[in-house]
Amino acid sequence: QSVLTQPPSASGTPGQRVTISCSGSSSNIGDNFVYWYQQLPGTAPKLLIYRSNQRPSGVPDRFSASRSGTSASLAISGLRSEDEADYYCVTWDDSLSGYVFGTGTKVTVL
Amino acid sequence: QVQLVQSGAEVKKPGASVKVSCKASGYTFTSHYIHWVRQAPGQGLEWVGIINPSGGDTGYAQILQDRVTMTRDSSTSTVYMELSSLRSEDTAVYFCARDIVVTAAHNSAALDYWGQGTLVTVSS
């Protein structure tokens, strides 16, 4: 069981905005950067966000993220069919002295 | 171009060990950390550990630290992840991935290039 909790699923229609939460504690999100990944079926994860709110080059600005206290969130605006995937948050945990992934959220485009 | 190419699928019996390789190319091998991440069938991602190819220092997930060993061979630009005392719960796809951060700085979880994954199946 992960120390980072995400909702199992989220959905929206094309063009809508979807938000995914990642809940942690003071030993992880509260004190460290958060990263977000997108994983399409059968493929390796793709980095979407680093240092809590920075996008690598090539990631559309439809993807944005924030961190507040012991929680973080990823927002997808202007939802598109190709956004249908699993999304994971990850951060360092001071107590575990290692990185921890969130439980993952499956996004469905209706 | 940056590439991480992993070794092929493995089938092992419980109690055995497995060693997965990850050969890097297209960049200076010692300049970026390499992480290992695994994913059990139908499950989420799990961080396994990290190696600094420059100094060889490592860090492992607490739940695996007694059974996992990561090494590197700079002559072939290859990192290895060995997992011992295998159990059925270790059945997973194991990925290696490159950290964006250079080894002169503190590591991160910003993994920009990934290997294709290696399926390790543990079954009697």
Q: Which residues of A touch B100 (CB under 8 A)?
A: 47, 50, 56
The HSE-up count of residue B71 (CA atoms within 13 Å, CB side) is: 8
3-state secondary structure of B32: strand
Contact A37 B45 (CB under 8 A): yes
The answer to whether B101 faces chain A, any CB pair under 8 Å, is no
Residue with tokens 């490159």: B98
DSSP summary character for residue A21:
E
Strands A63-68 and A9-12: unpaired
Rounded-to-10 torsion of CA B8, B116, B33, B36: -70
3-state secondary structure of B111: strand
CA dist A92 and A96 (Å) reads 8
Measure CB to CB from residue A33 to each of B46, B95, B108 and give the nearest one.
Answer: B108
Contact B114 A44 (CB under 8 A): yes
3-state secondary structure of A33: coil
| A57, B74 contact by CB (below 8 A) | no
pLDDT digits (tens, 9 = 90+) for B64-118: 999 999 999 999 999 999 999 999 999 999 999 999 988 888 889 999 999 999 9
Look up residue A11 and give its amino acid: S
The answer to whether B44 faces chain A, any CB pair under 8 Å, is yes
Residue with tokens 């069938």: B41
Measure CB to CB from residue B114 to each of A35, A45, A51 and give the nearest one.
Answer: A45
CA dist B46 and B61 (Å) reads 9
- Token pair, residue A10, equals 């989220």
Reported as a pLDDT band with limits 50, 70 and 90, residue A105 is: very high
The answer to whether B80 faces chain A, any CB pair under 8 Å, is no
pLDDT digits (tens, 9 = 90+) for B34-58: 999 999 999 999 999 999 999 999 9
Decide if pLDDT at A1 tops 80. Answer: no
Measure CB to CB from residue A101 to each of B47, B108, B110 and give the nearest one.
Answer: B47
CA dist A34 and A89 (Å) reads 7
